[in-house]
Structure 1
């Protein structure tokens, strides 16, 4: 186990909390007020039973970070409440509960490579590529003269996800989204 300050904890880290349980970090935000003590709020999910908790720490508080091994796996298919992944070299299949994938489930595409964080041969967290390309299947029509506007409009992607895109983006356009924030980044070059 490595000791980290609360300010250095990031999404996807696995920490051992004071109750002796392992938690995977879902979100970590630091707050530095003009006066007073800077704090870090960490939203995390207990690995043993999936319960989510939110704790606030002083930014200099020490937390135990568990050693996790990052292993590439290929996504195969969804099986009820689980997702099935395969190790690309050993062809060993691994079942991952839907709760661990969470809101990122629409990002899964057949045969895509993801990084699973493993602790004692058990998957505890999943990481997707930072950017992914999708095609827009539904959005409002392009309005001439609106390209310089700073407003965004809703669009539905091929996987059913909903993102906000600039007004000049139309149906059939391939876009790159930021998978961490689930936001539009740029138009794809392909």
Structure 2
């Protein structure tokens, strides 16, 4: 599907120079002389290399057509993560490189979305939030700190987050899967 160069925004995946590229940054520039253009920073999905490109607003670019499906995380197997399709129950292996640091907050049976390009998994999107048990945190001495301060805590896979002082070891909390920030104490 062709799109105007002005429509390339962060997160957009395009086919360019025989590769798939994800837009990291884009800036529309309208110079005093000459035509307007879109300055974009691209990262290759397959090679991991970066590229800065300038597209004139009159140009059209091929937007990659991605197929998004719901999956459930099952387990980790050496260099791969195993997911099960929520509809067909078919299992697939996804390279750990595809998900990156988000692997640390995956938990069994977590519902994720996986985007495919020509049956190759490209992007694994975690849910907005998930509940985790606090494995370790510091005790708070009464009157020691102001109530708005946070303290460090550790959840599964040694992931460190910041939690309010009233959270104790063994409590379950909801965190934002993308920013790794505390949302609320779960029941």
What's the TM-score once normalised by structure 2's chain length?
Answer: 0.78
Query: Is the 1:146–1:168 Cα contact (8 Å) retained in structure 2?
Result: no
Distance 2:175 2:60 in 1: 34
Distance 2:98 2:113 in 1: 13
Question: Which residue of structure 2 aligns with residue 15 of structure 1?
Answer: 14
| Deviation readout 1:18-38 (Å, 9 max, x if unpaired) | x2310245x547799xxxx9x
Q: Secondary structure at the match of 1:164?
A: strand
* Structure 1 residues 2-151: aligned runs within 5 Å: 2-3=2-3, 9-11=9-11, 13-17=12-16, 19-24=17-22, 27-28=24-25, 42=41, 44=43, 46-49=44-47, 51-53=48-50, 55=52, 64-145=62-143, 148-151=146-149
Cα distance, 1:146 vs. partner?
A: 5.2
Q: 1:10 and 1:138, CA in 2 relative to 1: closer, same or farther beyond 3 A?
A: same
Query: Is the 2:2–2:60 Cα contact (8 Å) retained in structure 1?
Result: no
Distance 1:161 1:108 in 2: 11
Stretches of structure 1 that go unaligned for 5 or more consecutive residues are: none
Query: Is the 1:5–1:62 Cα contact (8 Å) retained in structure 2?
Result: yes
| Deviation readout 1:130-163 (Å, 9 max, x if unpaired) | 1111111111112323574433221101332111
Q: Give the structure with higher Rg (CA).
A: 2
Query: Is the 1:2–1:67 Cα contact (8 Å) retained in structure 2?
Result: no
Q: 1:80 and 1:170, CA in 2 relative to 1: closer, same or farther beyond 3 A?
A: same
Question: Which residue of structure 2 aligns with residue 161 of structure 1?
Answer: 159
Stretches of structure 2 that go unaligned for 5 or more consecutive residues are: 30-35
Distance 1:54 1:187 in 2: 42
Q: 1:167 and 1:29, CA in 2 relative to 1: closer, same or farther beyond 3 A?
A: farther
CA RMSD of superposed structures (Å):
3.1
Q: 1:186 and 1:148, CA in 2 relative to 1: closer, same or farther beyond 3 A?
A: farther
Cα distance, 1:68 vs. partner?
A: 0.7
Comparing 157-166 with 102-111, greater Cα deviation is found at 157-166
Cα distance, 1:9 vs. partner?
A: 2.3
